[in-house]
Amino acid sequence: MDKLLDGVVDAGADFEIYWPMRADCSVVPRSSRVNVVRGSLPMMDLSLADGSQVVLFLKRLNIFQRHDAAFVRWCYRYRPYIVLVEEHQRFTLWMMVCFLRFFGCKVVMHLHNTRRHSFADSLGDRVDEVLLGVALRRCDAVVVHDQRSANIVSSRYRAPHCSIVPHGVDSRKFAELRPRDLRSVLFFGEYRKNKGLAVLVDAMCRLSDESFDCELIVAGRVLQEDRDEVVDLLSRVSSVRWIDRFIEDSELDDLFSGCGAVVLPYVDFEAQSGILHLAIAYGLPVVVSDVGGMRGVVEASDIGLVVGAADASALSAAIRQVLSPEVNARCRSAARMLAGQLSWANAGRSISSLCVSCCSKEG
């Protein structure tokens, strides 16, 4: 968020920017024009010390601890002309947007995911999506990262004002190609079943059966309830390095510079992947499944290969191909070029232009 706002400032628009946040947030924006309002959002204690889900539910109902309620109160007091919403809480976004519009605020919703990662098609999930649609239709503009997401916003949520602003990438040290790295692939991030680790394990077993020497690097936190499943999966891989914890930002350079490609074999996903853009930032080739908005980015820029979701045979063939020296070098060059195009400065300029456009509209 701080990088995006820096890009908005660099675009030169005459905005006075305020960023409400909790008192414990340590973010320091680069620009002095971004005014951080610490303590305007409450600290939320969502721990389960007593093991009670009921207590957690009651904590979430407390309007004096909720970020959305505190944000509405802040906007009522200071009446900003335009509000850029970067995150929201379940079920209540529509109320927040209605309050903001009643206060006379223009509302731009930056929708990173068209469907929650934890979506299970439950009654609560379906109600949440209906209410999300109510909120999006009340916004002056909705911003997504790719055309597929824009189509979903228009068809599923029937939001009339949808714009595409590609996801920005951080400025990272490009990973240099070393011959030994062409024998390893990285599966990165907190484990969730929809990320397709089981499919990747099947693909790695196929490569092993074909005598293709390749190490699987799995890095990221695994929740306790998923640990036995992950242990069982990785026990099937002949060559695996498992870093079973949260990966600090200071560790990313070494991790990403030590692999030949990043693999994202998701089986169910409706978003742009932050991990995909991290790979782009390091100039690394990728192999992705055809879900969410990943196909459009990868194919348009030639930074890797796309396979069908849950297709272990196609995935193993793609891994073998992307680790070949010629293909790997070509994809690395394309990823470096794309990283320059997807700067946060460019994303900020697009958001700034959209906000200016909203401000010029009546109603």
At 79-131, the pLDDT tens digits run 999 999 998 888 899 999 999 999 999 999 999 889 887 788 899 899 999 99
Are 110 and 143 in contact, with CB atoms under 8 Å apart?
A: yes
C-alpha 319 chain-centroid distance: 23
Q: Which residues contact 133 (CB under 8 A, 6 or more apart)?
A: 156, 157, 158, 159
For residue 61, what are its two tokens? Answer: 């109902």
**Predicted pLDDT of residue 247:** 95
Mean pLDDT, range 167-193, rounded to an integer: 87
Q: How far apart are CA 54 and CA 61, in angstroms?
A: 11
Q: Check whether 228 has a pLDDT greater than 70.
A: yes
Q: Look at residue 363 and tell me whether its pLDDT is greater than 80.
A: no
Q: Pick the residue with more confidence: 181 or 7?
A: 181
Q: How confident is the model at residue 58 (pLDDT cuts 50, 70, 90)?
A: low
Question: 118 φ, ψ to 5°?
Answer: -90, 10
194-222 confidence digits (pLDDT tens): 999 999 999 999 999 999 999 999 999 99
- Percent of the chain past pLDDT 70, that is, above it, reads 93
Q: Report CA dihedral (250, 254, 255, 261) to the nearest 10 degrees.
A: 130
What local confidence, expressed as pLDDT, does residue 25 receive? 84
Average pLDDT over residues 67-88: 92
Predicted local distance difference test score (pLDDT) of residue 209: 94
Query: Which tokens belong to 174?
Result: 């490009």
pLDDT attached to residue 178: 82
Higher pLDDT, 345 or 286: 286
Within 10 angstroms of residue 199's Cβ, the number of other Cβ atoms is: 22
Contact residues for 171 (Cβ-Cβ < 8 A; gap 6+): 281, 343
Q: Average pLDDT for residues 17-37, to the nearest whole number? A: 85
Question: Which stretch of 5-14, 126-135, 250-259 has the lowest confidence by average pLDDT?
Answer: 5-14
CA 138 – CA 161 distance, rounded (Å): 10
Mean pLDDT of the chain: 89
99 token code pair: 């309050």
Using the predicted structure, report yes or no on whether residue 256 has a pLDDT greater than 50: yes
Among 93, 33, 28, 89, residue whose Cα is nearest residue 348: 33
pLDDT for 120 equals 81
| pLDDT higher than 50, residue 49 | no
What the chain holds in terms of domains, given with CATH numbers, is 3-168+344-360 (3.40.50.2000), 184-342 (3.40.50.2000)
- Provide the pLDDT for residue 16: 86
- Mean pLDDT confidence for 181-192: 94
Task: Tell me which of 50-59, 117-126, 173-182 is least confident.
Answer: 50-59
Decide if pLDDT at 52 tops 50.
yes
Determine if the pTM surpasses 0.85: no
Is 283 within 8 Å of 336 (Cβ atoms)? yes
pLDDT tens-digit series, residues 275-312: 999 999 999 999 999 998 899 899 999 999 999 999 99
Mean pLDDT of 21-25: 87
Q: 10 Å Cβ neighbour count for 204?
A: 28
Q: Write down the H helix ranges in the chain.
A: 2-10, 53-61, 67-78, 93-102, 123-138, 147-155, 197-209, 227-234, 252-256, 274-281, 294-301, 312-322, 325-341, 344-360
